[in-house]
């Protein structure tokens, strides 16, 4: 084991070393901090790095473990949080320059649960401003893909995906409205889960798409992802929309094969679009693996899922605008990124009658998605019809009606929005690499509160393929990239 192996290990592997006292939590924290100092001036995965706080927590964890008070597999494990989730004395900036801290001392329930389990907060991950996924200018530096910085790292929970792929933390929490966890997981080659709406408390998350926002984990392996979700899930009196359903031990559902499992490939979200040749080859290979594991895979049509894209824009975006317009947009128009403010301002113009009709129409999409689970255990789709794009090509510029169709309704959105509107659990799992060495992924969705089946399929597939064992060579991919200096707690936005 060396300093290039340890940061890419799974939580399970790191936890075993900590429990056996072969490494200390302080060793792991210091290693990540050194890597952040070295690489984050290029990757921009972090807004705030709370080094002193993390070291204090690591020393406390070390002392507890030495005294035999081991709390479990997250004890001493460093993690990051999308800077949209409150963390007490660590500021929550929302990647905005409007005010230095939107958290006001609040600590999110998910953060409290992780820290009760002994996990160590190492910092706050960079994101698209206010988590809207439309940023043009990044106040804290534009996140870069660690596999190839010329390519996009996807949108919103971007820093969370980058930090896990680059070995800058063991896990991170993101937020997913329409794909903001799954997208960065896809582009950065890690595992990202949008849990069932209500499975995880949203208390302390600064989120305003009331009927779709979820908090979920990004990790390097499926087992790690299941562990984090199991830790943060469960009913919370502070969130009346959180479910009282018991949280299972997801690891108990892992199996080496998928015999008896019935899977459906959703045509509209996978093969009815023009696929990039490498994506097409990846999908065929992934389906072959699933069949080789004993699963049956059939194709189904869910024609209403294509309406999820406009319905998302007509419902969740106005939910956000209803709060932002009054609180911040009118007062601080010039301080918003142009992409963020344009999207919010446009959503504020949606008439209430249209919003109400769109909310009713969402039920039709949801019901069609749910109907598929009457016959199938899980649904399989692509995460995108193309691989991650070069940065200059990933900026969506809408100049005509044709652009709306080409860029908005035939993009990743049609792969992720339907499961958001249906409020079912969905996971992005690494499934291959392009000739340019950027990741590709498939998506696995299950019926509400059946994360166990989702994880079962994903884990068996992951173990049969081994894509999770590949990691970016930062010395090679970031050689010669421009640096702008590291940040620590209290640092100012990039100029």
Tokens of residue 179, six digits:
């794909």
The residues annotated with a catalytic role in the active site are 82, 156, 180
**272 contacts 428 by C-beta, under 8 angstroms:** no
Q: How far apart are CA 263 and CA 28, in angstroms?
A: 39
Which residue's structure tokens are 């072969």? 22
Q: How far apart are CA 152 and CA 159, in angstroms?
A: 12
**123 contacts 172 by C-beta, under 8 angstroms:** no
**Cα–Cα distances in Å, from 401 out to 33, 71, 407?**
47, 56, 10
3-state secondary structure labels for all residues of the chain: CCCCCHHHCCHHHHHHHHHCCCCCHHHHHHHHHHHHHHHHHHHCCEEEECHHHHHHHHHHHHHHHHCCCCCCCCCCCEEEEECCECECCECCCCCCCCCCCCCCCCECHHHHHHHHCCCEEEEEECCCHHHCCCCCCCCCCCCCCCCCCCECCCCCCHHHHHHHHCCCCCEEEEEECCCCCHHHHHHHCCEEEECCCCCECCCCECCCCCCCCEEEEEECCHHHHHHHHHHHECCECCECCCCCCCCCCHHHHCCCCCCCCEEEEEHHHCCCCCCCHHHHHHHHHHHHHHHHCCCEEEEECCHHHHHHHHHHHHHHHHHHHHHHHHHHHCCCHHHCCHHHHHHHHHHHCCCHHHHHHHHHHHHHHHHHHHHHCCCCCEEEEECCCCCCCEHHHHCCCCCCHHHHHHHHCCCCHHHHHHHHHHCCCEEEEEEEECCCCCEEEEEEEECCCCHHHHHHHHHHHHHHHCHHHCCCCHHHHCCCCCCCCCCCCCCCCCC
For residues 157-182, one letter each, b for 16 or more C-beta atoms within 10 angstroms of the residue's C-beta and e for the rest, the string is: bbbbbbbbbbbbbbbbbbbbbbbbbb
For residues 241-258, one letter each, b for 16 or more C-beta atoms within 10 angstroms of the residue's C-beta and e for the rest, the string is: ebbeeebbebeebbbeeb
Q: How far apart are CA 451 and CA 196, in angstroms?
A: 8
């Amino acid at each position: 084991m060396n300093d290039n192996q340890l940061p890419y290990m799974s939580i399970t592997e790191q936890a075993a070393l900590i429990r056996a006292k072969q490494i200390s939590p302080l060793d792991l924290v210091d290693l990540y901090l050194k890597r952040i100092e070295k690489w984050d001036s290029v990757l921009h995965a972090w807004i705030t790095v709370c080094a002193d706080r993390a070291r204090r927590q690591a020393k406390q964890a070390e002392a507890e473990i030495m005294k035999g008070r081991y709390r479990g597999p997250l004890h001493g494990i460093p993690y990051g949080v999308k800077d949209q989730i409150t963390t007490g004395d660590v500021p929550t900036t929302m990647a905005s320059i409007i005010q230095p801290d939107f958290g006001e001392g609040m600590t999110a329930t998910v953060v409290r649960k992780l820290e009760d389990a002994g996990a160590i907060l190492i910092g706050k991950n960079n994101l698209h401003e206010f988590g809207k996924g439309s940023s043009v200018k990044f106040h804290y530096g534009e996140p870069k893909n660690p596999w190839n910085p010329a390519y996009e790292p996807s949108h919103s929970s971007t820093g969370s995906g980058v930090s896990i792929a680059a070995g800058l933390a063991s896990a991170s929490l993101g937020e997913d409205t329409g794909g903001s966890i799954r997208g960065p997981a896809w582009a950065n080659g890690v595992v990202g889960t949008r849990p069932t709406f209500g499975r995880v408390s949203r208390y302390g998350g600064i989120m305003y798409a009331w009927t779709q926002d979820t908090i979920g984990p990004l990790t390097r392996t499926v087992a790690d992802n299941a562990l984090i979700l199991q830790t943060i899930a469960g009913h919370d009196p502070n969130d009346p929309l959180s479910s009282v359903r018991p949280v299972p031990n997801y690891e108990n559902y892992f199996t080496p094969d998928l015999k008896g499992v019935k899977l459906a490939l959703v045509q509209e979200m996978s093969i009815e679009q023009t696929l990039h040749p490498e994506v097409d080859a990846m999908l065929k290979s992934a389906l072959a693996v699933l069949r080789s594991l004993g699963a049956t895979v059939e194709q189904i049509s869910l024609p209403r899922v294509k309406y999820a894209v406009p319905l998302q824009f007509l419902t969740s975006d106005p939910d956000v605008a209803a709060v932002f317009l009054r609180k911040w947009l009118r007062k601080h128009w010039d301080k918003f990124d142009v992409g963020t403010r344009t999207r919010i301002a446009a959503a504020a113009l949606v008439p209430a009658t249209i919003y109400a009709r769109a909310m009713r129409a969402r039920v039709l999409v949801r019901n069609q998605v749910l109907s598929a689970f009457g016959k199938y255990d899980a649904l399989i789709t692509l995460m995108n019809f193309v691989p991650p794009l070069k940065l200059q090509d990933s900026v969506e510029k809408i100049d005509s009606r044709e652009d709306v169709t080409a860029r908005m309704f035939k993009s990743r959105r049609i792969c992720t929005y339907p499961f958001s509107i249906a409020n079912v659990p969905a996971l992005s799992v690494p499934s291959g690499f392009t000739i340019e060495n950027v990741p590709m992924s498939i998506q696995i969705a299950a019926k509400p509160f059946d994360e166990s089946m989702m994880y079962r399929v994903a884990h068996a597939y992951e173990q049969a393929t081994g894509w999770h064992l590949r990691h970016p060579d930062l010395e090679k991919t970031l050689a010669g990239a421009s640096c702008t200096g590291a940040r620590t707690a209290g640092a100012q936005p990039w100029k």
